[in-house]
Amino acid sequence: MKTKYTQILVVGLIAASFLIGAYLYPHLPERMASHWDASGSVNGYMSRLWGLFLMPVISTFLFLALVLIPKIDPLRENIENFRGYFNVFILLLFGFLFYAYVLTLYWNLGYRFNIIQLMAPAFGLIIYYTGVMIKNAKQNWFIGIRTPWALSSESVGNRTNRLAGRLFKLAGLLAALGTLFPGYAILLILAPVILAAVYPIIYSYRAHKVERNRKVKG
């Protein structure tokens, strides 16, 4: 997907969030549910103003940061080599945030459902595609597994990203199972993604150590 079209679609989602929030402002309670526990029960509230507009504001600043990253990265030419994957990730990320925002609004309008169960497939999709993007990422300072060992060696970085990509895709599939097993949804979302993030760090250290030893012996 081209960068221009991605940015237009994301700006549209953010603008829609602000407009929906402004339209619904008179129809929502003074204190809005804003946080749910692992069982799907509300355990956090915020004022109507922040409940309606915090997510759009966060999305705005996040979008600006993601626009800026490819421009300030010293290896920005490498980002261009997988920019299509990065653009799709950006669109999915903001689609995910918009989906979460809409579910929150529905809940506060009086509809009742297991929000954790409905969020599970969305988490699964964004985690899975994170794996797709990381697997195709080239060496840079912001996207992928950015350990000192991965950054100091292009080959180690590429191998680490390929491994992380596979692990994140598996984690995404497991996260989506939370739709079928809502009682375990949080566990299915968090445990696999933590392992997918942590193990490549260890792998990059070991791979760099092996590569360095080979150079010394050679």
What digits encode the pLDDT tens for the residues 166-195? 999 999 999 999 999 999 999 999 999 999
Q: Which two tokens stand for residue 17?
A: 């969030």
Query: In the chain, what percentage of residues exceed pLDDT 90?
Result: 93
| pLDDT tens-digit readout, 196-212 | 999 999 999 999 999 98
**Placement of tokens 């549910």 in the chain:** 33
pLDDT of residue 215: 77
Q: Which two tokens stand for residue 213?
A: 């030893």
Q: Please check whether residue 133 is in contact with residue 84, taking contact to mean a CB–CB distance below 8 angstroms.
A: no
Kindly list the distances between the CA atom of residue 94 and the CA atoms of 11, 82, 147, 153, 218, in Å, as whole numbers in the listed order. Answer: 9, 19, 26, 32, 48
Residue boundaries of the structural domains of the chain? 1-113, 114-218
Give residues with Cβ within 8 angstroms of 187, minimum separation 6: none
The pTM of this model reads 0.93
| pLDDT tens-digit readout, 120-176 | 999 999 999 999 999 999 999 999 999 999 999 999 999 999 999 999 999 999 999
Residue 38 has pLDDT above 90, yes or no: no
Q: Please check whether residue 181 is in contact with residue 200, taking contact to mean a CB–CB distance below 8 angstroms.
A: no
CA distance 74 to 87: 19
pLDDT of residue 217: 72
